[in-house]
């Protein structure tokens, strides 16, 4: 029986999984799937626990020999800057970062616990979305806050690193010279961010301390004046938990439109608020793009990826046309393959 390697990617509203033949990691997975719309109704799983149970049942029914499991973990904090083998202490330390990524980290950790229970004794590896950005210049990892806060971990981390690593690998394979130039990758989806890369390394990115910053997203507000948080607490009497719920789960495209967090539903809607939400998304995508280009002092290539980036054919031209003032640059649309990145890191550590 062939040895197989499993990858698990438990996101904010989906669970992706892929099974790779360990002897052929560069080939397509032998079995993969995705459960979407978790907790959103419309036929999706009601909870992440239910979705993970479904995935585990599908795998167990196939009588496979799984000898390693790799996981996407959104936040690595200060200490996790490379993929690591998972042990009990690792799980505790990853769980301690839940408050920094409340839409993802709880489900990431739940996936780790479920897999460790289902595949007892099988080595497992955590791959962190923040790790890709860990070597950015310190200037781009700082807030304008005192040194002691930076030392305590209050800094810009950046996210979607596995997606960016996947796109970089594709560029290096297809056009190595272009991959070394000034590249901006726009990962646009329910979660959205951009990364400015030069010489194949992350220089700057739009998300920062948490996955809340930067671009407007499905239910997250994106860039926000910090005084709004103080105002909501001090003047509106909202608790910190209520503010967190608003900013992470009740804002973004959903909050603007009061229709949906899904770009597909907004494009199909006749509500004026849906059109306004789309306009807002395009406008602030352009503003964040300008910031990434400033960090690179120019742009040679813009890559779209993610659910919106790959599939929203009406959004991309609006962004490209709106960025014409930046001068000529190449545009590509590439599908991110985070699972393949996780598989390679997991194989290297097991």
- What's residue 21's pLDDT? 92
Report the Cα–Cα distance between both ends of the chain, in Å, rounded: 18
Strand order from edge to edge, sheet including 183-187: 201-205, 193-198, 183-187, 301-305, 330-333
Return d(Cα 217, Cα 220) in angstroms, integer: 5
pLDDT band (50, 70, 90) for residue 114: confident
Return d(Cα 150, Cα 142) in angstroms, integer: 7
Are 14 and 45 a contacting pair, CB within 8 Å?
no
Q: Which two tokens stand for residue 187?
A: 């990962």
Q: What are phi and psi of 223, to 5 degrees?
A: -55, 135
- What's residue 341's pLDDT? 96
Name which of 19-23, 143-147, 285-289 the model is least confident about.
Answer: 19-23
Characterize 181-194 residue by residue with b for buried, 16 or more Cβ atoms within 10 angstroms of its Cβ, and e for exposed.
bbbbbbbbbbbbbb
Q: How buried is 147 (Cβ within 10 angstroms: 0-12 exposed, 13-18 middle, 19+ buried)?
A: exposed
Q: What are phi and psi of 333, to 5 degrees?
A: -120, 120
Cα-Cα-Cα-Cα dihedral of 100, 104, 107, 110, to 10°?
A: -40
- What's residue 36's pLDDT? 78
pTM of the model: 0.93
- In the predicted model, what is the mean pLDDT of residues 102-128? 91
Mean pLDDT (the chain) is 93
- What's residue 42's pLDDT? 64
In a 3-state reduction of DSSP, which class is residue 11?
Answer: coil
Residue 1 has pLDDT above 60, yes or no: no
* Total Cβ atoms within 10 A of residue 276: 13
Contacts (Cβ under 8 Å, ≥6 apart) of 249: 103, 219
Are 99 and 44 a contacting pair, CB within 8 Å?
no
In a 3-state reduction of DSSP, which class is residue 143?
Answer: coil
Q: Which residues are catalytic?
A: 129
* Total Cβ atoms within 10 A of residue 36: 18
- What's residue 115's pLDDT? 87
Residues 154-213 pLDDT 10s = 999 999 999 999 999 999 999 999 999 999 999 999 999 999 999 999 999 999 999 999
Domains and CATH numbers, the chain: 3-128 (3.30.420.40), 161-333 (3.30.420.40)
What one-character-per-residue DSSP string does 260-324 give? -S-HHHHHH---HHHHHHHHHHHHHHHHHHHHHHHHHTS-SEEEEEHHHHHH-TTHHHHHHHHTG
Residues 70-105 pLDDT 10s = 999 999 999 999 999 999 999 999 999 998 888 889
What one-character-per-residue DSSP string does 167-219 give? HHHHHHHH-HHHHTS-EEEEE-SSS-EEEEEETTEEEEES--SSTTSSS--SS
- In the predicted model, what is the mean pLDDT of residues 310-322? 97
What one-character-per-residue DSSP string does 28-72 give? PPSEEEEE--TTS-TTS-SSHHHHHHHHHHHHHTTT-EEEEEEEE
Q: Which two tokens stand for residue 257?
A: 């439109």
* Total Cβ atoms within 10 A of residue 195: 30
- What's residue 41's pLDDT? 65
Residues 199-251 pLDDT 10s = 999 999 999 999 999 999 999 999 999 999 999 999 999 999 999 999 999 99
């Amino acid at each position: 029986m062939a040895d197989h390697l499993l990858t698990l990617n438990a996101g904010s509203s989906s669970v992706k999984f892929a099974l790779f033949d360990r002897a052929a990691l560069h080939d397509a997975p032998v079995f993969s799937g995705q459960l979407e719309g978790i907790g959103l109704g419309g036929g999706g799983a009601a909870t992440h626990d239910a979705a993970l149970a479904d995935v585990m049942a599908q795998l167990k029914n196939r009588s496979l020999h799984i000898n390693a499991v790799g996981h996407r973990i959104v936040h690595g904090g200060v200490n996790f800057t490379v993929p690591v083998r998972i042990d009990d202490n690792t799980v505790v330390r990853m769980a301690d970062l839940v408050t920094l990524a409340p839409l993802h980290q709880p489900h990431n950790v739940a996936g780790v616990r479920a897999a460790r229970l289902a595949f007892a004794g099988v080595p497992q590896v955590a791959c962190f979305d923040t790790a890709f950005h860990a070597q950015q210049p310190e200037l781009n990892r700082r807030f304008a806050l005192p040194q002691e806060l930076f030392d305590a971990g209050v800094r810009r981390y950046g996210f979607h690193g596995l997606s960016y690593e996947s796109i970089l690998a594709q560029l290096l394979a297809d056009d190595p010279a272009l991959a070394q130039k000034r590249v901006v990758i726009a990962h646009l989806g329910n979660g959205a961010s951009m990364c400015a890369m030069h010489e194949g390394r992350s220089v700057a990115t739009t998300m920062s301390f948490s996955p809340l910053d930067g671009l407007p997203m499905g239910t997250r507000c994106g860039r926000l004046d910090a005084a709004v948080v103080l105002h909501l607490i001090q003047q509106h009497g909202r608790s910190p938990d209520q503010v967190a719920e608003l900013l992470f789960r009740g804002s973004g495209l959903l909050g603007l439109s009061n229709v949906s967090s899904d770009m597909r539903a907004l494009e199909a809607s006749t509500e004026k608020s849906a059109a306004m939400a789309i306009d807002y998304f395009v406008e602030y995508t352009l503003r964040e793009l300008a910031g990434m280009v400033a960090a690179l002092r120019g742009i040679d290539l813009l890559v779209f990826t993610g659910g919106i980036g790959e599939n929203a054919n009406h959004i991309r031209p609006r962004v490209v046309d709106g960025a014409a003032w930046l001068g000529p640059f190449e545009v590509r649309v590439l599908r991110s393959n985070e699972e393949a990145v996780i598989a390679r890191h997991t194989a290297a550590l097991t």
